[in-house]
Amino acid sequence: MTKLKNRLLDKQSPRSILFITLDSCRYDTFEQADIPHLKSVGPLYRAMAPGNFTYASHAAMFLGFTPGVPGRLEAYINPKFAKIFRMVTGGIKGKAKEFAVLDGRNIVDGFRRMGYLTVGSAAVGWFDPSTETGAELSREFERFHYRGMPFSIKEQLSWLIGQIVSAEQPVFAFLNIGETHVPYCHEGAGWGWEYNPCVPFSKHNDAAMCRQRQAACLEFVDRQIEPLLRTFSDSTIMVCADHGDCWGEDGLWEHGIHHTKVFEVPFLYRLGEPPSGA
């Protein structure tokens, strides 16, 4: 990993894209956490996710429907006003100029058709390419890595970095991070993967533990991800959660339900050069 980190000193093209999803990360977790590298991407917005579980939200985002703030009449912050990524056949054109207009089955396919190297690494089970549902989310990537449980941001970064360090064309890189997903655990944590403090309909949940563990996982991720953010520092970066979790609000736990705490997510972005044919 050290050798790969050193090679990352060569920055990606300003036309490259890095899209990061912090699976299940609540907005309040992100806002309160000590995560200088992730927070350096851009202003933090309290946005609404397009779905309440991983598959639905990512399927929507891969069609350009990223999290947004519906009351803001500003491009990209409100994707209804103008999208960062818009499919040519994907909904109505916004009121302002979109950052990237893509032709294809989804944004991954769209960037590939433009000559980009499309690489992705995902942690949670909805991306498992050995399943039919997982194949729907992963098949358009030229190169794809699935981690699964127990989640390992270090392994994902090592794989992803290895794919892009020698790329000669602009890159569309996607990273779905699992440490912030239940059971909220990371490598070297002072607790194990066995106990999940956030289980729907359980009588043994612990909101305080959920809060502490998800924040610790996010801070662990932040310490690992700095080299990847650095290599895309002249490029477009988008960071968000696909959804949040309920921690006992209105008697509800976890996600896959319609609740404000599930739809409320962090959203940050910084734009490089607009994409064009490589």
How many whole angstroms separate alpha carbon 125 and alpha carbon 142?
20
- The two tokens of residue 269 are 């972005």
Torsion of CA 32, 180, 226, 140, to 10 degrees: -130
**Is residue 87 a part of any domain in this protein?**
no
Listed as ranges, residues in the chain with pLDDT below 70 are 1-9, 277-278
**Is residue 275 a part of any domain in this protein?**
no
How many whole angstroms separate alpha carbon 162 and alpha carbon 57?
27
Per residue in 84-102, pLDDT (tens digit) is 999 998 777 888 999 999 9
How many whole angstroms separate alpha carbon 166 and alpha carbon 50?
34
Please give the backbone phi and psi of residue 34, each rounded to the nearest 5 degrees, phi first.
-90, 85
How many whole angstroms separate alpha carbon 199 and alpha carbon 252?
9
Sign of CA dihedral 124, 126, 128, 129: negative
How many whole angstroms separate alpha carbon 238 and alpha carbon 99?
12
Q: Give residue 168's identity as a one-letter amino acid code.
A: E
Residues in the chain: 278
Q: Give residue 190's identity as a one-letter amino acid code.
A: G
**Is residue 72 a part of any domain in this protein?**
no
> At a CB cut-off of 8 Å and minimum separation 6, what does 260 contact?
249
**Is residue 100 a part of any domain in this protein?**
no
How many whole angstroms separate alpha carbon 181 and alpha carbon 97?
34
**Is residue 81 a part of any domain in this protein?**
no
CA 189 from centre of chain: 22
**Is residue 277 a part of any domain in this protein?**
no
**Is residue 34 a part of any domain in this protein?**
yes
Residue tagged 């910084």 (tokens): 270
Q: Strand 171-177 and strand 117-122: pairing?
A: parallel
**Is residue 195 a part of any domain in this protein?**
yes
H helices present in the chain, as ranges: 2-7, 27-32, 36-39, 54-61, 107-113, 132-138, 153-164, 207-231, 260-263
**Model pLDDT, residue 277:** 57
Helix (H) or strand (E) holding 36: helix 36-39
Q: What is the CATH number of the domain that holds 239?
A: 3.40.720.10
> What's the total number of domains in the chain?
1
- State the residue range of the domain holding 25: 2-64+106-270
**Model pLDDT, residue 7:** 47
Residue tagged 């699992």 (tokens): 178
Per residue in 172-196, pLDDT (tens digit) is 999 999 999 999 999 999 999 999 9
How many whole angstroms separate alpha carbon 129 and alpha carbon 133?
8
How many whole angstroms separate alpha carbon 170 and alpha carbon 226?
20
How many whole angstroms separate alpha carbon 133 and alpha carbon 54?
11
Could you count the other beta carbons within 10 Å of the beta carbon of residue 132? 8
Report whether 204 contacts 198 (CB < 8 A): no
- The two tokens of residue 30 are 């992100």
